[in-house]
Structure 1
Amino acid sequence: MSPIQFQKHIKLQEARRILLSEATDAADVAFRVGYESPSQFSREYSRMFGFPPKEDITRLRNKYEKRMNA
């Protein structure tokens, strides 16, 4: 992994953490972690996690709720 890829990985992991723990939107988080373009952030997020930010967070929250209710 190149240094730039590593930095992107860290930024996207932090974005995912923020989206899961705070009531905020993807565009705000994109800027907070250093992206200038929300659309670029969404594309890179989707490439890394397999889903766009909103869908990924919804999926993860639903998965967590199912585990808590089991």
Structure 2
Amino acid sequence: MEAVGWDKISPHLAYALAKVYGFKLGKRYVVPGHVVERFLDGTLPLEAVHEEARKRARGRKWRRVTD
């Protein structure tokens, strides 16, 4: 599997991807391999990830919005 570097993804987007699609292992977030493959293929729906990245870039804490 190909490693995803900062040339392909920003730090804010990487963190948001981990918060939305990953899980926490100790103090670190882990993104499953199938999620990374779908991200690299361009088949992963990224609306929630982009929203999370925008919140993080603006310095807001992550809050889940429920309707």
Instruction: Please confirm whether the aligned pair reaches a TM-score higher than 0.5, indicating the same fold.
Output: no
Q: TM-score range by the shorter chain?
A: under 0.3
Q: Which has the higher contact order (CA 8 A, sep 6+)?
A: 2
TM-score, normalised on structure 1?
A: 0.27
Select the structure of larger CA radius of gyration. 1
- TM-score by length of structure 2 reads 0.27
Structure (1/2) with the larger helix percentage: 1
